[in-house]
A and B are shown apart, each in its own frame.
Chain A
Amino acid sequence: MTVPGSAHDYRLSQLQSLEAESIHIFREVVAELERPVLLFSGGKDSIVMLRLAEKAFWPARIPFPVMHVDTGLNFPEVLEFRDRRAQELGVQLLVASVPDAIERGTVREEPNGSRNRIQTPVLLEAVEKHRFTALFGGARRDEEKARAKERVFSFRDDFGQWDPKNQRPELWNLYNGRIHLGESIRVFPLSNWTELDIWSYIAAEQIDIPALYLAHEREVVERDGMLYAVNEFVVPREGETVTTERVRYRTMGDANLTAAVRSDADTLDKVVAEVATTRLTERGATRGDDRVSEAAMEDRKREGYF
């Protein structure tokens, strides 16, 4: 980002102050908690997280590994991006695999095809194995109503559970990272960012992203009012017609349950303009797995989901 220029009014722009706040949070965790890890999926939020981490410790390297909980249902383009980005930054990439866990019998496939819920035990198992005490997540409070209640430093007990009624008060920029053995802190440096801030930042910083976020032609089927790209995980059903549409993705979830939106935004500037005027939330528009119930996110978070 451009350095605050005509500094004589001593003001930071919106993106500059969000960036400064996030950098403060990253440094605070590394200074106070022993074994942090950053959850990195190759999605836009975690991409911004990596850039902020890079800035927080420059010119030193990012002083923690990154981890991806791989459901086995990801878009191949996103996995390629994930691997390349980790390599470029010289950070260690750990992968916790849901298919492996299914094979070992530690989790069981859900009948509705969503691996959203069974990601949680796989994540918790990996946290225990590596003895991570702090987990950086890219969740934003504007995403969802349960997340609006989330702290920047979110205490989790030794089962990884979130208790919304029993959170630590968070005052000024003083974060409490004290934990006992087995407990951990989920840390959300992007808490105060909105979807538009994320895209404005990606555009301002010219950050590399998976091409799926930009409009492109794709074969799609319409299902439950949403557009799903035809791929190895989405096979057209009887009665569904395959059409070619110009689409892009607003979120990157599992390829079987993440829908695309019709769009002509094929550059970052056009994406920023589109997001600025959209009338649908990113999850409401494109995530089949969030439609389970009014409190789907809250329930998953209680179990240890991000």
Chain B
Amino acid sequence: MSDILRFATAGSVDDGKSTLIGRLLYDSKSIFEDQYEAVERASAGNDYVNLALLTDGLRAEREQGITIDVAYRYFATPRRTFIIADTPGHIQYTRNMVTGASTADLAIVLVDARKGILEQSRRHAFLVSLLRVPHLVVAVNKMDLVDWSQEVFEEIHEEFTAFATKLEVPDLTIIPISALEGDNIVHRSTNMPWYDGPSLLHHLEHVHIASDRNLVDARFPVQYVIRPQSREFPDYRGYAGTIASGVFKPGDEVQVLPSGFTSRIASIDTADGPVAEAFAPMAVTIRLEDEIDISRGDMLCRPHNAPHATQDVDAMVCWMTDEPLRAGQKLAIKHTTRSARAMVKELQYRLDVNSLHRDVTVDALGLNDIGRVRLRTTVPLFADPYARNRTTGGFILIDEATNRTVGAGMVHPSE
């Protein structure tokens, strides 16, 4: 059965990220002839066909030679389908990386073999760890420019492994590559016989992701109530939603938040018929045995395994707009299917993403800053720590005047 792997790419401006993606697409034969011909035409006069042009599509990007915003790319091999969140390494790196990494199963951080581990590489790896991307690949690129040196690779390998022990990265793989020449991207490199690990694509095809999901904590945020009021289904009342985590089965005892009432699952419906069990991320409709008042924003869980219901939320927030975040500010918050208003009670510290130092003296978070805040919400949220559950632990903050999404939050357990 073919499945989907979502991955994000990170790296600073000239690490060759667009070239890597172009190479992956090209060597896996996922480029169409007409696209390739267009890129060939556009790179006339260069030594190489500029594969980076396959991904930089917007007018301004081509004019300035930069990537403006996260773009999503698709390719497939017989084993797997891939969705790439191509995040620019440019100025707005933090916000873009957080966006791309929020849904990723795996992240690739590019390192230039000539430059070694830079601050930027540490920052990217830290963001991957903060966003709880389960698998990290460090691609040591431009090996052609260091004469395919095993020594250079091993130094970088050692340094990065040592740094990674400070992070929460459950699975780390380090691969020497040349995106420009295509070494260890799809095919094993003959230039680096000393490397006996997988090529990048082989790793992407085989990395085990099925057990990354939380199948333990049953969480079902109610998204929409389905009441057909038709002759065929006069009394139907089903709670539609996407299972956030865990497994639900007909007959299971469930608790409804916030009311606290319990009932049993009468059936789990889909348009293709009822199912014997439903697990994340299936989109289903659940009917209960008892008539309980349930609406959008409520949550179904198991009676002895409920999320934390609280109006005081401690979280790491990535701030995504120019107007700074300050204590006292009021914002809209969206968490699972629940919308509320939130007030910033306290800004506890700003995290220096380079040194991981906590700066407790700041009174504001600027664009691309990450900091720890305490929020007070108008209604309780049913939240789990983000480390345990990326779906019930993540939220967005919205400016109520402009309606723009201005922050991304990850719930932390209170200290």
| Chain A residues positioned under 8 Å from B335 (CB to CB) | 174
Stretch at the interface among B170-178, B224-232, B258-266, B376-384: B224-232
Q: Are A59 and B394 in contact (CB under 8 A)?
A: no
Among A31, A144, A145, A171, which residue has its beta carbon within 8 angstroms of that of B337?
Answer: A31
Is A112's CB within 8 Å of the partner chain B?
A: no
Q: Are A171 and B394 in contact (CB under 8 A)?
A: yes
Among A56, A148, A174, A298, which residue has its beta carbon within 8 angstroms of that of B72?
Answer: A148
Identity of the chain A residue whose Cβ is nearest the Cβ of B56 in the assembled complex: A145
Stretch at the interface among A9-17, A36-44, A206-214, A260-268: A9-17
Q: Are A59 and B233 in contact (CB under 8 A)?
A: yes
Is A269's CB within 8 Å of the partner chain B?
A: no
Min C-beta distance of A251 to chain B, whole Å? 14
Q: Are B35 and A14 in contact (CB under 8 A)?
A: no
Beta-carbon contacts under 8 Å, B127-150 to A: none
Is B275's CB within 8 Å of the partner chain A?
A: yes
| Chain B residues positioned under 8 Å from A174 (CB to CB) | 334-335, 394-396
Q: Are B210 and A145 in contact (CB under 8 A)?
A: no
Among A12, A16, A295, which residue has its beta carbon within 8 angstroms of that of B58?
Answer: A295
Q: Are B73 and A27 in contact (CB under 8 A)?
A: no
Q: Are B72 and A55 in contact (CB under 8 A)?
A: no
Complex alpha-carbon distance, A4 and B276, angstroms: 9
Is B272's CB within 8 Å of the partner chain A?
A: yes
Beta-carbon contacts under 8 Å, B42-67 to A: 42, 55, 57-60, 62
Range, interface on chain A: 35 or more
Q: Are A192 and B83 in contact (CB under 8 A)?
A: yes
Q: Are B83 and A11 in contact (CB under 8 A)?
A: no
| Chain A residues positioned under 8 Å from B162 (CB to CB) | none
Is B358's CB within 8 Å of the partner chain A?
A: no
| Chain A residues positioned under 8 Å from B272 (CB to CB) | 1-3, 55
Among A17, A58, A148, A279, which residue has its beta carbon within 8 angstroms of that of B271?
Answer: A58
Min C-beta distance of B197 to chain A, whole Å? 26
Among B42, B62, B226, B281, which residue has its beta carbon within 8 angstroms of that of A57?
Answer: B226
Is B184's CB within 8 Å of the partner chain A?
A: no
| Chain B residues positioned under 8 Å from A23 (CB to CB) | 242, 283
Name the residue in B71, B213, B224, B273 with the highest tally of chain A Cβ atoms < 10 Å from its Cβ.
B224
Is B405's CB within 8 Å of the partner chain A?
A: yes
| Chain A residues positioned under 8 Å from B3 (CB to CB) | 11-14, 17
Q: Are A294 and B38 in contact (CB under 8 A)?
A: yes
Q: Are B98 and A171 in contact (CB under 8 A)?
A: yes
Min C-beta distance of A285 to chain B, whole Å? 7
Identity of the chain B residue whose Cβ is nearest the Cβ of A284 in the assembled complex: B34
Is A97's CB within 8 Å of the partner chain B?
A: no
Among B32, B55, B95, B223, which residue has its beta carbon within 8 angstroms of that of A31?
Answer: B223
Is B118's CB within 8 Å of the partner chain A?
A: no
Among B229, B390, B405, which residue has its beta carbon within 8 angstroms of that of A170?
Answer: B405
Min C-beta distance of B392 to chain A, whole Å? 10
Q: Taking A59-B233, A149-B71 as contacts, is the C-beta distance between A178 and B332 under 8 angstroms?
A: yes
Among B34, B98, B396, which residue has its beta carbon within 8 angstroms of that of A176?
Answer: B396
Min C-beta distance of B401 to chain A, whole Å? 10
Is B102's CB within 8 Å of the partner chain A?
A: yes
| Chain A residues positioned under 8 Å from B285 (CB to CB) | 58
Identity of the chain B residue whose Cβ is nearest the Cβ of A277 in the assembled complex: B29
| Chain A residues positioned under 8 Å from B226 (CB to CB) | 57-60
Stretch at the interface among A161-169, A228-236, A238-246: A161-169
Identity of the chain B residue whose Cβ is nearest the Cβ of A153 in the assembled complex: B405
Q: Taking A24-B223, A27-B240 as contacts, is the C-beta distance between A3 and B275 under 8 angstroms?
A: yes
Min C-beta distance of B302 to chain A, whole Å? 17
Q: Taking A7-B277, A12-B281, A165-B60 as contacts, is the C-beta distance between A148 and B224 under 8 angstroms?
A: no
Is A219's CB within 8 Å of the partner chain B?
A: no
Complex alpha-carbon distance, A1 and B269, angstroms: 13
Complex alpha-carbon distance, A167 and B320, angstroms: 12
Complex alpha-carbon distance, A278 and B79, angstroms: 18
Min C-beta distance of B236 to chain A, whole Å? 6
Complex alpha-carbon distance, A194 and B95, angstroms: 27
Q: Are B74 and A9 in contact (CB under 8 A)?
A: no
| Chain A residues positioned under 8 Å from B4 (CB to CB) | 14, 17-18
Is A146's CB within 8 Å of the partner chain B?
A: yes
| Chain A residues positioned under 8 Å from B282 (CB to CB) | 4, 12, 16, 20
Is A128's CB within 8 Å of the partner chain B?
A: no
Is A141's CB within 8 Å of the partner chain B?
A: yes
Contact with B along A141-162 (1 / 0, CB 8 A): 1101110110000000000000
Knowing that A61-B230, A165-B68 are A-B contacts, what are 20 other residue pairs whose CB atoms are under 8 Å apart, sorted by A's residue number? A7-B275, A10-B210, A10-B215, A10-B247, A17-B3, A23-B283, A54-B271, A58-B269, A60-B229, A60-B230, A164-B60, A168-B405, A170-B99, A172-B391, A176-B398, A178-B332, A194-B74, A197-B81, A281-B34, A281-B35
Cross-chain pairs A/B with CB under 8 angstroms, 9 sampled: A1-B272, A14-B2, A21-B283, A23-B283, A148-B55, A149-B57, A171-B408, A176-B334, A295-B59
